[in-house]
Amino acid sequence: MKVAVVGATGLVGMRMLEVLAERNFPVSEIIPVASERSVGKKVPFKGKDYTVVSADAAIEAKPELAIFSAGAGASKELAPKFAAAGCRVVDNSSCWRMDPTKKLIVPEINSDVLGPDDYIIANPNCSTIQMLLPIAPLHKAYTIKRIVVTTYQAVTGSGNKAVAQLKAERSGKKPGEYEAVYPYPIDLNVLPHIDQFLESGYTKEEMKMVNETHKILRDDSIGVSPTTARVPVLGGHSEAVNLEFEKDFTLKDIRKIWNGTPGVTVQDDPANNIYPMPLYALGKDDVFVGRLRRDPSVKYGINLWCVSDNIRKGAATNAVQIAEALLKKGFLK
């Protein structure tokens, strides 16, 4: 089928092209799309270079599928135009996630809600995806009352300019000698600040984790208390997650559930220093979980540590998996 990738020259867009190729998605024609300043550039796909075109030119080509990673503003303007032309849109921005008329999908968890009338489908926030993949089956088994999560998020979550800032600082450049994405240096530092602060004192990134968890798990009763931080890691987000359940459990049964959950890999042997780390999650599509232990402060609680490549499962791979779910259901041909 004809597939457009909107935002094809960006960090996530380039990875989307790679994932489409790796997973052998049935692409007959790839249509890379970007802003006017990038039109005419070349991007690679399956060993060939393709010319970037404008959104209008892409719509005229009548793609069956468009995968977006061009920011909320572009998605708000362009996704309805693609959809109106009969194109299924999978959008990686925050634009449509909390729209009650749009589905928010982690395929392993809730692809069952996708229907024939869904022409704009939202891809969740990267931190939400990696947290929910291992805990959704635990909620089904034990009913989660409360989640307390702290994230340690890589600079790739802020795009190419953030990667450039970290590399510039690491090479010894001083503020003013590079374009700064963050309000402070990121190298040798931790910023407890992702996205804009709200009147509540929480950031938009933190509230995404609250609201998206409720929507994806279809349960507004779950308490979610998040803190998100940016760390000087190039790629791969890490999360410390505390869960309180309604029901009792055994750690053995939790590991058994995880071992049977697609997309989850257990790395949990602390005696041999085996636990998830972002350096070793890069380039992989799974969410890696470990450091599983009981929380002694509550009756039915656990702590866990999870890591995932935020550009792959947290963005590009999840979007392609949504497209695969549409294909499997017969909504793409």
Residues labelled catalytic? 126, 237
Query: Mutual orientation of helices 126-142 and 251-259 as an angle, nearest 10°?
Result: 120
Q: Are 2 and 29 in contact (CB under 8 A)?
A: yes
User: Can you tell me the distance from the alpha carbon of 315 to that of 123, in angstroms, rounded to the nearest whole number?
Assistant: 7
Share of the chain residues as helix, strand and coil, in percent rounded to the nearest 5: 35, 25, 40
Residues near 136 by beta carbon (within 8 Å), at least 6 away in sequence: 106, 108, 109, 216, 217
DSSP state, residue 124: P
C-beta atoms surrounding 299 within 10 Å: 9
CB atoms within 10 A of CB 158: 19
The backbone torsions φ and ψ at residue 10, rounded to the nearest 5 degrees and listed phi first, read -85, 175
Question: Sign (positive/negative) of CA torsion 162, 233, 310, 292?
Answer: negative
Say how far apart CA 41 and CA 52 lie, in whole Å. Answer: 5
Rounded Cα distance between 203 and 112, Å, is: 31
18-33 burial code (b ≥16 CB/10 A, e <16)? bbbeeeebebeebbbb
Place of tokens 């042997």: 269
Tell the residue number behind the tokens 């530092």, with chain if given.
189
Give CA–CA dist 221/270, Å, rounded.
33
Amino acid found at 152? Y
Q: Are 45 and 17 in contact (CB under 8 A)?
A: yes
